[in-house]
Amino acid sequence: MVGGDLVKGYYLVKSEKEKRGQSAGIILMDRVLGLLALIFISGISIIYLLLQKNSILYPYRYESYITLAVIVSVSVLFGAFFVFGRKQRVRGKIKTFFTAIFRKSIFYYLLEGFGVLVKHYPILMYSFFVSILIQLCSLSGLLILGNTVTESLPDVITLAAVSTAVIMVGIIPVTPGNLGWTEFIAAFGWSAVGSNAGAAIFLSWRIITVICSLPWGLVFLFMADRRGQILTHTGNMFYK
């Protein structure tokens, strides 16, 4: 939440003696699985909202259908990638293609690391379910914060569904750290179900998550020597 993927990727690349960038494939895979988990929950949420046929949501039905179509398309695309990416012939062609483009650079080894992880199907499934749990924990935090507002709120399931759709749209990189953008989408989304507290709740949740991450950031900074050993050991575990 504080350092971002670029900082994490930098330290991973710095810790590698050869094939620099391969371990950074873990970060890329983590983002993909997190996106898939969010897509999975968002798809269910949008279907639920559409089935409710709420008069408040009716003006946004076309936006909901478009978002749902995008979710289905992305899901099919990733599904095809994971299925065909496990085939040796397909992997060989992809490797030849990226070798011609990146020529053994950091980007090449990053994608190679990503490809190595695709072969470990059970690990991907476990990570996917962990990502779903993380998204649900974040959603629970938002709903708990919702109890701090004095206005009447819609039922919990509707609010959870709308908040999930807000998180999904809010990941589009419009501003640095999506600061302000996510809150704007939250204000728009929550107003669709009759609440004006969306922006305030999402801003409060942003502040809480940053504050909670700071102690671990300090631990990370004060463990310079130990950190390099841990990262190297973790990379070896994945690729041996």
pLDDT in tens, 22-44: 777 777 778 788 888 888 888 88
Tell whether the torsion through CA atoms of 220, 222, 223 and 224 is positive or negative: positive
What gap in Å lies between CA 114 and CA 78, rounded to an integer? Answer: 13
**What's the pLDDT tens digit per position in 139-177?**
888 888 888 877 777 777 788 888 888 887 887 777 777
Alpha-carbon gap, residue 209 to 178, rounded angstroms:
14
**With 70 as the cut, is the pLDDT of residue 179 above it?**
yes
Closest alpha carbon to 60 in 135, 138, 146, 161: 161
Q: What is the pLDDT of residue 1?
A: 43
Q: What is the largest CA-CA distance in the chain?
A: 60
pLDDT at position 44 is 82
Which has the closest alpha carbon to 11: 232, 192, 215, 240?
Answer: 232
| C-alpha distance from residue 229 to each of 5, 11, 182, 221 (Å) | 20, 11, 37, 14
Burial class (CB in 10 A: 0-12, 13-18, 19+), 66: exposed
Q: Indicate the DSSP class of residue 154.
A: -
Separation of alpha carbons 231 and 192, rounded Å: 45
Please say whether the beta carbons of 117 and 25 come within 8 A. yes
Answer whether 150's CB lies under 8 Å from 21's CB: no
- The tokens 């700071």 sit on which residue? 214
Residue 141: predicted pLDDT: 87
- Tally helices (H) and strands (E) across the chain: 10, 0
What confidence category does residue 2 fall into, taking pLDDT thresholds of 50, 70 and 90?
very low
Q: What is the pLDDT of residues 192-237, one digit of tens each?
A: 778 888 888 999 988 888 888 888 777 777 775 565 565 555 555 5
Predicted confidence at residue 230, as pLDDT, reads: 59
pLDDT digits (tens, 9 = 90+) for 98-135: 666 767 677 776 777 777 777 777 888 888 889 888 88
Average pLDDT over residues 183-200: 85
